[in-house]
Chains A and B, each alone.
Chain A
Amino acid sequence: MIPRLLMKDICKSFPGVNALESVNLEVIQGEVHVLVGENGAGKSTLMKILAGIYQPDKGLIELDGKRVSILNTETANKLGIYMIHQELNLVPELSVAENIYLGRNFPKRRNSLIDWKSLYNNTGGVLEELSLPIDPKLKVKNLSVAQQQMIEIAKVVSENEPKIIIMDEPTAAITEKETEELFHQIRKLKRKNVSIIYISHRLEEINLIGDRITIMRDGRVVGSSIPISTIDKRKIIQMMVGREIDSQYPKKVHPIGTEILQVKDISSTKSNDVVSFNLYHGEVLGFAGLIGAGRTELMRSIFGADKRRTGKLFINGKEIKIETPADAVKHGIAFLTEDRKQTGLLLQRPVFTNITLVGMHKYIRHLLINHSKEKDDSQKYIAELRIKTPSYDSITSSLSGGNQQKVIFARWLLKDAEILILDEPTRGIDVNAKAEIYEIINDLVKSGKAIILISSDLPELIGMSDRIAVMSEGKITGILNRGEFSQERIMELAVQHIKEPVNQDNYERRGKYERS
């Protein structure tokens, strides 16, 4: 049988790096072809070549046995190749219908003005076909990330006969429930003979959805079109990193110390529900919940990032006032936000300024900065956390996601924070860097620090936490000890208050939570 897609001997180099060296990829009709590899392995480059964003230096591409040249995104689309990027390409201020029709002909009335009625009707039809309960008139900014993803899919499906859809980490920012919905849509596409190229870091989910897998490392293919049923997770990781990793979650259990933080009846500004919990020295307290459960909001209000309405905070038994992040930092609390690019890093500044930002006062002598001491300390942390950077003063945006995250860890280690709130610390980070971040977490709790770990990756949460608090709709619905952990139990608690999870109202409300 002629494969749907054949990419042969693809080479691509950028100044200084060979991104791809003679890469082959074969995708057949109606399969979900999983593509994995660490960050920088060349997956994105390969897919950008397929989608017409980059041109290969060498190699050929065949579609249904015919040689094609894909000059730009437009030609790719004409050939039936679509890419759904991790950062979704929708216009937040426009409606669902407008987004779906953007880039092609809007239905027009005779006087050549837009025919809004058929625009909404047509869109409604498209959404219905996908059984998506979304109002075509809604502005996209009011939708949840998962819903926006569905709109991207709807856009592709309604536009043309798609042959290949590339999905770049589609589940990175959505909940398990929403993932199921996504898989449902993917299966529907398969039935229509659409081939899906599926990029993901989440190895747990790929055997649920994938048919075959291609594994990349350092710009080469190290495992080609292996049927997923014949390979296990361990083997995949081993091929990705080129060595064996003993355990994905190297959790070391330490004796738990005395109470460090007591949170009493805290409410965030966005909900009236109050939350109480305790945190102990040397403990990792996990926070589980669906997106929109209010975990981030709760942490922001503890940290003073948003104004708090009610509640009390005690550190080592003493009541403290936290009105602003400055107060929180003064009391030894650190907050590593979920979106390190938007709210964590100064991307255009050198690495060392990001490391010393919180602890800058240490380097002031006679009103001036002691640059050499600042440099020494930065280099010490770069070495200690094995941050891969050309130099201590390289621009931070040039680092990979995992190394950027380590820069933020360095910042708070330098400040010697006692309580670290980590919000999705491993999102979008490759396997190796993840393991290193788990090491950092282990070292921190070993030295008696306390950690609050928010994660949507349940295996990670179960692997790394001493206790797990589960939140639903702004409340803690249960706190589990390490012996009681199971994915089923956590999910049960996570949906406890939600009556009808797929109900339209609920969907919208959750969508709004998440944005606000």
Chain B
Amino acid sequence: MKEAKNASNSIFKDIFKKFGLFLILIILMGIMGILSKYFFTIGNLLTIGVQASVNAILGIGMLMVIIQGGIDLSIGAILALSGIVAAYLMKSHVPVILSLSISIVIAGLLGWINGFLVTGLKLQPFIATLGTTGIFRGIALVATGGLPISSLPEQVSWFGAGNIIGIPVPIFLTILIIIIFSIILNHSLLGRYMYSIGSNAEATRLCGIKIDRYRRIIYTIEGALAGVAGVILIGRLCVAQPNAATGYELNAIAATVIGGTSMMGGSGTIMGTIIGALIMSVLSNGFTLLGMNTFIQQVAIGIVLIAAVYFDALQRKRQ
């Protein structure tokens, strides 16, 4: 009898563990839906999706870096600097697609620099990327004199506002990235090693795995993802700003942490991160619809972040 009760209890816990975050998202959406009739319109849901896409893409990159036991504060700066590069190329009449592709490659290179500082010079990732944040952002500001680059070619707006089979391009790109990276994390060697390095880097190294190489690859991919997020951002505004995405690295970290990722490395899922990004977007969208002070949003997101981490810690303790 007692055992049966225990078993059902643990099944409930399992369900909560798997879907708990999802439930929180649904409940939040329900509340917002009750408070605002406009919330559940197709148009608004797509807006939330588009808003969440930048955080989700940056969050996936951040997730990988955190899983392997690091952190990256520079992705906002990478996004801005690679965006500036794209803008200059387009202004010099380089085809739009080529310009944007080059900017993504540049973003990847900037990510590789972070990886090199961490693995080659053995710097703490927090410090290394704090340094590169200053450098990347500074270069973007110096190159533009601090001013936004506007009147970009028309086509670029397709990446922010266009449609593919009725789906907004940012959402389409995000879904594509979710699929690709779910496969990488769960079914590829890189994914397996990512979790291994984060769980115990020295043990992984002593298994003959070239951990530094994999770390650099992960930072490079993360940088490139910041480049992709940058393309969406430029597309939405049709402007490249040296100050773009300031503080976005913190949103990305928040999305992964709300999604149940441990900052110690070795664990974390794409689904969690996506739901984390969606929770943040739902909150911010809902508050805007309700006409509440936008600054309150920050307070709310802060509370959600702390609550998420607290409940995660509580659950771990129970185990």
Interface residues of A (CB under 8 A from B): 15, 303, 305, 324-330, 335, 337, 342-349, 353, 357-358, 360-361, 364, 367-369, 371, 411
Also in contact, A329 and B208, with CB within 8 A (given A344-B203, A346-B203, A361-B189): yes
What are 12 of the A-B contact pairs (CB < 8 Å)?
A324-B210, A343-B200, A344-B203, A346-B195, A346-B196, A346-B199, A348-B267, A349-B195, A353-B196, A358-B208, A364-B189, A367-B188
User: Which residues of B have CB within 8 Å of A335?
Assistant: 206
Query: A417 → chain B, closest Cβ, in Å?
Result: 10
Cα(A330)–Cα(B208), bound, Å: 8
Question: At the interface, is chain A mostly helix, strand, loop or mixed?
Answer: mixed
Interface string of B26-69 (1 = CB under 8 A from A): 00000000000000000000000000000000000000000000
Question: At the interface, is chain B mostly helix, strand, loop or mixed?
Answer: helix
Contact, CB under 8 Å: A343 / B202: yes
Contact, CB under 8 Å: A357 / B189: no
Cα(A379)–Cα(B253), bound, Å: 37
User: Which residues of B have CB within 8 Å of A411?
Assistant: 207
Contact, CB under 8 Å: A326 / B210: yes
User: Which residues of B have CB within 8 Å of A367?
Assistant: 188-189
Cα(A371)–Cα(B188), bound, Å: 10
Contact, CB under 8 Å: B210 / A348: no
Contact, CB under 8 Å: B206 / A305: yes
Selected contact of B188 from candidates A305, A324, A325, A369, CB within 8 Å: A369
Selected contact of B189 from candidates A327, A342, A344, A369, CB within 8 Å: A369
Also in contact, A369 and B192, with CB within 8 A (given A345-B200, A347-B199): yes
User: Which residues of B have CB within 8 Å of A329?
Assistant: 207-208
Cα(A326)–Cα(B267), bound, Å: 25
Selected contact of A357 from candidates B188, B204, B210, B266, CB within 8 Å: B204
- Give the interface residue-count category, chain B: 20 to 34
Interface residues of B (CB under 8 A from A): 6, 183, 187-189, 192-193, 195-196, 199-200, 202-210, 266-267
Contact, CB under 8 Å: A346 / B266: yes
Also in contact, A369 and B196, with CB within 8 A (given A357-B207, A358-B208): no
Cα(A303)–Cα(B187), bound, Å: 30
Cα(A328)–Cα(B193), bound, Å: 19
Interface centre among A324, A327, A343, A347 (most CB of B within 10 A): A343
Also in contact, A342 and B199, with CB within 8 A (given A329-B208, A358-B208): no
Contact, CB under 8 Å: A357 / B202: no
User: Which residues of A have CB within 8 Å of B196?
Assistant: 346, 349, 353, 357
Contact, CB under 8 Å: A347 / B200: yes
Contact, CB under 8 Å: A342 / B202: yes
Cα(A305)–Cα(B210), bound, Å: 12
Cα(A303)–Cα(B196), bound, Å: 20
Query: A350 → chain B, closest Cβ, in Å?
Result: 10
Selected contact of A349 from candidates B188, B189, B266, CB within 8 Å: B266
Closest Cβ neighbor of A327 among chain B residues: B208
